[in-house]
Structure formats: structure tokens, C-alpha cells
Amino acid sequence: MLIAYLVAQGVDLPVHPTPLSEIHVERRMRDEVIGPFVPIAVLISGYRAVLSSQQGDVCNFSPSCSEYGYNAINKYGVTGLLMTFDRLERCHSHAWRYRNIYYYEQTDERGKVKLHDPPEPDTVSDL
Amino acid sequence: MNIIGFVLFFFPGALVADPNFYTNSAKVLSFAENLEAEGDWYRAITEYKRYVHLEGEPQDDIHYRISRLYTKLKRFGNALDALLVIENKENGRYCYSVGQVYFLAGDYTNAKAYWRSDTLLGWIHLREGNYQQASQLLNITHYPKQKKSWLGGTLSALIPGSGRVYAGRAADGISAFALTLGTGLSSYYCFKQERYAPAYLFALLCAGFYLGDIYGSVISVRQYNEIQEEKYVSEIEITLGLRRQLW
């Protein structure tokens, strides 16, 4: 009904409208990040869109460092920023030594085995 | 003849099924016990409840069994509900069972109200991390190995990465040291060459890695302590055979 009304009014409708789910995700990402952390969130989003997508899935952890950083900063602010740097320092090939001690293995949606390390401060992840 | 064939083909159970099976309480109880032994706990609970309904009298022992199965299924609220209907509450078994449900649910405050023996109270203190009181009640002579989180942070503030090495995570420590040093040196050389934009960027990254390392060292030491405590509690529980006292 609404579409028919808009067409009758001469409004140009997009041929391939953006799915509602995508609009929701974009809005949510923009709304969640607060004040001084917006530039960092934009940098992380840019990294994810431009570099990370070309580099492939190379992170040892699940969620990946960029996703971890984005969520940690959203959730914990300054502490989240420290958590992100801490995570970057922990993300190396020898991190697998701490499997079943500090992290447990998790298979992601692509079937790759990762070390589970959610953005929660001060906890050993549900071992 | 055709009718008999039809019945036998579609309802072969009619030949062997006992029409009184679901009204015979002894058979229902036996069936419930079999289900429990097989590990089909939800159905076992249903059959135990059916048994109680058929008997029509208070069945304290069966309610204990139902509570035990709900506890195994981690449905602690249902387990407590099953214990509430028990008639004879003035005995040790009732107090022990209620305390056990609270204990397994992690509600140690309520568990203390029901558990009276020194060993069990000591066990609660052990789980709560009150090692001093636990050692008095359980006659334990040693404590878990603990490291100081502030020392980890201080070490990292002095030499990046050393706090993580102190926490037993040398690989993380080396990584933190390399990242802090790398970004710091990059910043220094950029400043020296008067390339201020990358110099400030590397300085920011260096500061981030430095502070992140201090934070990470404190967290690493805390995690180390947490794991040591878990190991210690587990070791004590096995040594003293405490877990055998549970359902």
C-alpha cells in the first residue's frame, strides 16, 4: 500500500533497496560507539573493511582482534582500549601454548579452529 | 481372519502389552529405576512422579531420588521443590540434601545454613576461597601458590613484558616487549628525521602497548592465581574424598 502510494506520488524508489538487517547493523554500530572512541571505532571498521577483508582470516583468536577491539571499546571504554592493546600483544603463533590453560578451542562458522577469548575483563574464559 | 491379520500387523504390541502396566506401581518404579540407570533422567523423573501418584501416599525416598536427578540436570529450583514436599524434615538426610543442592548451585550462604559438619563447612570455605578457615576445619597444611598482581604490573611498568613473564606467560611477554620497543624506536627515529606525523602515530601506539602491557600483566597474574586456586581446590577435594560425598 505504502509503495503504491509513493509511486503514485512520483517518488523514485531504489531498484535494490538496502536490506533492513544491514541498515540496522550500520545504525547499531554508529549508535553504540560513544564520544572520544568514535575515531577508533571508525579506524577499526575501516581496517576490517579494507585490509582485513583482503588479508583473509589469519587471527589466532575468536573473535578476531579487530572484532574484539571494537566490542571491548564499545562496552568498556578506556578499559576496552587497554584490553585491545593487551589482546594485540597476546595474538602471536605461540598463543597456542596456552590452549586449555587460558583459552579453549572453538571451531568458527568456517570450520577453522580458533582460541576462544571473548572481550570480558579479568576472567579465564569458562574453562 | 482378515481382521485378525489387520490387528496383528498394525498393532503387534496388542499381543504382548500389559494393559495394567501403567497402573502397577511396582512396575512403574522398576521402569523408572531402569531409565535412571540408562541416564534418561527426564523420563525417569516422570516415572517416579507417576509412581508417587499411583501410590497416593508420601514417598520421601522417591522425592529424594527426584531431587537428585534434577540436581544432576542442574535444575536446582526443581530439585529444591522436590525436597519441599518431603514429610520428615527433622533428620540429617533432609538437611544434607538441601545443603547439597544449594552447594552445587553455588549458593554457599544457604548451604552453610543446612550443612553442619566441620568437613562440609570446611569444604564451603574452601570453595569460597577462605583458605584460613578451611585449613582449620579440614586440617590442611598448605595454601595455593599465589603471585602478586601489583608486582606483575610494576614489573611491566619497569620493563615491558616482564610482568607477563612473572605470570608464567613468557611468549606473551616477549611479544609485548617487541611491540612496545618496536613502536617506541620507530617513533624515536621518526622524530629524529623530523617526520612528525608518523612519529606521533608511533608514539601513541607505543603508549597504548605500554599501558596495555601493564594492564595485561595484572590480568595475567590474576588469571594465574585463579587457575592455581582451582587446581588447589580440586586437589584437596580429591585427596580428602569430598566429591564422593555428593550425589
pLDDT tier, A9 (very low <50, low <70, confident <90, very high otherwise): low
Q: A100 is in which domain, residue-wise?
A: 20-116
Question: Looking at the 3D structure of chain A, how many domains does it have?
Answer: 1
pLDDT of B18 reads 64
User: Of residues B24 and A127, which shows the higher confidence score?
Assistant: B24
Interface contact B209, partner A, CB < 8 A? yes
In 3D space, the residue among A64, A60, A62 whose CA is nearest the CA of residue A47 turns out to be A64
Give the model confidence (pLDDT) of A66-109 as tens digits. Answer: 999 999 988 888 899 999 999 999 999 999 989 888 898 888 77
Residue B246 is classified by DSSP as -
pLDDT exceeding 70 applies to what percent of chain B? Answer: 91
User: Average model confidence (pLDDT) for chain A?
Assistant: 76
Query: Is-contact B153 B163, C-beta < 8 A?
Result: yes
pLDDT of residue A8: 59
Predicted ipTM beyond 0.90 = no
A29 within domain boundaries: yes
Q: Which run of H or E residues covers position B114?
A: helix B108-114
Domains and their CATH numbers in chain B: 13-115 (1.25.40.10), 117-247 (no CATH)
C-beta separation of B29 from B51 below 8 A: yes
User: What's the pLDDT at B150?
Assistant: 94
Q: What is the mean pLDDT of residues B4-33?
A: 72
Find the residue in B nearest to A127 (Cα): B227
* C-alpha to C-alpha distance for B4 and B37, rounded to whole angstroms: 38
What does the alpha-carbon distance between residue B235 and residue B247 come to, in Å, rounded to a whole number?
19
Q: At CB < 8 Å, which residues of chain A contact B?
A: 79, 81-86, 88-90, 92, 94-95, 97-98, 101-102, 121-124
Residues on chain B touching A79 (C-beta within 8 angstroms): 215
The mean predicted confidence, pLDDT, of chain B is 88
Contact between B150 and B132 under an 8 Å Cβ cutoff? The reply is no
> Is residue A127 assigned to a domain?
no
- Cell 481382521, residue? B3
> How many angstroms away from the CA of B71 is the closest CA of chain A?
21
Q: What's residue B1's pLDDT?
A: 53
- Tell me if A89 and B213 make a contact (CB, 8 A cut-off): yes
Task: Provide the pLDDT confidence category of residue B166 given band limits of 50, 70 and 90.
Answer: very high
Nearest by CB to residue A89, choosing from B212, B223, B227, is: B212
pLDDT reading at B62 higher than 70: yes
Output the pLDDT for position B55: 84
Q: Is the pLDDT of residue A12 over 60?
A: no
Q: With 60 as the cut, is the pLDDT of residue B162 above it?
A: yes
pLDDT score, position B70:
94
CB B196 within 8 A of CB B190: yes
A37 Cβ neighbours under 8 A, 6+ residues apart: A73, A74, A77, A80, A81
**With an 8 Å Cβ cutoff, is B204 touching chain A?**
no
Lowest mean pLDDT among B37-41, B85-89, B186-190: B85-89
pLDDT of res. A15: 47
Name the 3-class secondary structure at B50. Answer: helix
Enter the pTM of the model.
0.70
User: How confident is the model at residue B21, as a pLDDT?
Assistant: 67
Residues ≥6 apart with Cβ < 8 Å to B241 = none
Q: Which of B12-26, B64-78, B81-95 has the lowest mean pLDDT?
A: B12-26
Alpha carbon distances (Å) from B108 to B97, B123, B163, B183, B226? 14, 10, 34, 49, 19
Please provide the DSSP assignment of A17-61 as one string.
PPPHHHHHHHHHHHHHS-GGGHHHHHHHHHHIIIIIHHH-S--SE
Q: What is the rounded radius of gyration, in angstroms, for the C-alpha atoms of chain A?
A: 19
Please check whether residue A89 is in contact with residue B176, taking contact to mean a CB–CB distance below 8 angstroms. Answer: yes
Q: What is the mean pLDDT of residues B207-221?
A: 95
The backbone torsions φ and ψ at residue A115, rounded to the nearest 5 degrees and listed phi first, read -90, 125
B203 close contact with A: CB closer than 8 A: no
Question: Do A90 and B175 count as a contact with CB atoms less than 8 A apart?
Answer: yes
* Residue B156, C-beta contacts closer than 8 angstroms, at least 6 positions apart: B162, B163, B164, B176, B213, B214, B216, B217
Q: Which of B223, B224, B231 to mutate to test the interface with A (most CBs of A within 10 A)?
A: B223
Q: Is residue A63 in some structural domain?
A: yes
Interface test with A, best of B215, B220, B226, B229 (most A CBs within 10 A): B215
Asked whether the beta carbons of residue B215 and residue A95 sit closer than 8 angstroms, the reply is no
Nearest CA in chain B to A120: B219
pLDDT value at position A108? Answer: 78
| Average pLDDT, integer, range B131-136 | 85
Strand locations in chain B (E) = none
What whole-number distance in Å separates Cα of residue B174 and Cα of residue B182? 12
Could you tell me the three cell numbers for A122? 579479568
Q: How many CB pairs under 8 A join A and B?
A: 58
Closest to B212 (Cβ–Cβ): which among A85, A92, A97?
A85
Inside any domain, residue A13: no
Q: Does B43 touch chain A (CB under 8 A)?
A: no
